[in-house]
Amino acid sequence: MERKPVRVLVKNQEWQKVRKDLIGKWKSDPISCCKKLRSFLGSVKSANNDKLRIVMNYLTGTAFRTGRVKHPCITTLRGNISMEMGMRKKSGKWY
């Protein structure tokens, strides 16, 4: 399977609805925002690679990277995704 560029992945309609719903809400309700991302993903263990890449790309964006948006739930989710991606790479289930 060929790896799609992130710019193609983020055009996913389901993701666009989630992303739009998160705009402007991180500062006031980060826990709810994390729940919405987890809902989009489903189980991190069984989420498809595309969804993992979409959410990881989102969570490593400028606002998160610079610390403007931060909360323990963000750190936990990013860590869970990172660990799963690493395990898949080791097992050859990552493209």
**Each residue of 19-77: pLDDT tens digit?**
999 999 999 999 999 999 999 999 999 999 999 999 999 999 999 999 999 999 999 99
pLDDT score for 93: 86
Q: Please name the amino acid found at residue 51.
A: K
pLDDT band at 95 (very low <50, low <70, confident <90, very high): confident
In which band, very low, low, confident or very high, does the pLDDT at 2 lie, cut at 50, 70 and 90? confident
Residue-level pLDDT at 1: 60
Measured CA to CA, the distance from residue 30 to residue 35 in angstroms comes to 9
**pLDDT confidence of residue 22:** 97
Q: Can you read off the two tokens belonging to residue 30?
A: 């980060």
Please give the pLDDT value at position 59: 97
CA distance 25 to 33: 7
User: Of 12, 2, 1, 3, which Cα lies nearest the Cα of 58?
Assistant: 12
